[in-house]
Amino acid sequence: MAVPKKRTGHSAQGKRRSNWKATKPATTKCPNCGETVLTHTVCTACGTYKGKAVSLKDRVEEVAVKEEKPAKKSTKKAEAVEEVKAEAEVVETVEAEVVEAKEEAVVETEVEAEEATETEEK
């Protein structure tokens, strides 16, 4: 392996690094809450992206608010289990929403196909 014979001087080192600059990241304002957010990322304040709630954390909080139960004495493990269960429920609801959307899209395409055949027959 090559090893330099002499140390690089401060001037030569500075000249070499003169074009090595950091760039400012592109930012936008969140349409939901108005907070400054990096482009093409989920808003850290409200958990939305393109006007839709994306963050599982927010979904878990929404489910938790809906299913408020009386507080019990619980350990950290029990709390972790409850959070995992809540996240699983959220994932299931999101998956169900996706399936429903796909089914609706299939029905819409079938209706459009039927309408197209009817107009061709006339």
The pTM is what?
A: 0.34
pLDDT at 74 over 90: no
- The reported pLDDT for the residue numbered 111 is 81
User: 48-67 pLDDT, tens per residue?
Assistant: 888 888 866 656 666 666 66
Percent of the chain scored above 70 by pLDDT?
A: 83
Asked whether residue 6 is assigned to any structural domain, the reply reads no
Q: How confident is the model at residue 81 (pLDDT cuts 50, 70, 90)?
A: confident
Asked whether residue 14 is assigned to any structural domain, the reply reads no
Asked whether residue 101 is assigned to any structural domain, the reply reads yes
Helix (H, G, I), strand (E, B) or coil at 43: coil
What are the tokens at 64? 């938790």
8 Å CB contact between 45 and 35? yes
Instruction: Give 43's contacts (C-beta < 8 A, 6+ positions apart).
Output: 30, 32, 33, 35, 37, 49
Asked whether residue 13 is assigned to any structural domain, the reply reads no
8 Å CB contact between 51 and 67? no
What are the tokens at 115? 């309408």
8 Å CB contact between 26 and 38? yes
Asked whether residue 89 is assigned to any structural domain, the reply reads yes
Could you list the residue range(s) of the whole structural domain that residue 100 is in?
A: 26-121
Domain count, the chain: 1
- The reported pLDDT for the residue numbered 102 is 83
- The reported pLDDT for the residue numbered 38 is 94
Asked whether residue 1 is assigned to any structural domain, the reply reads no
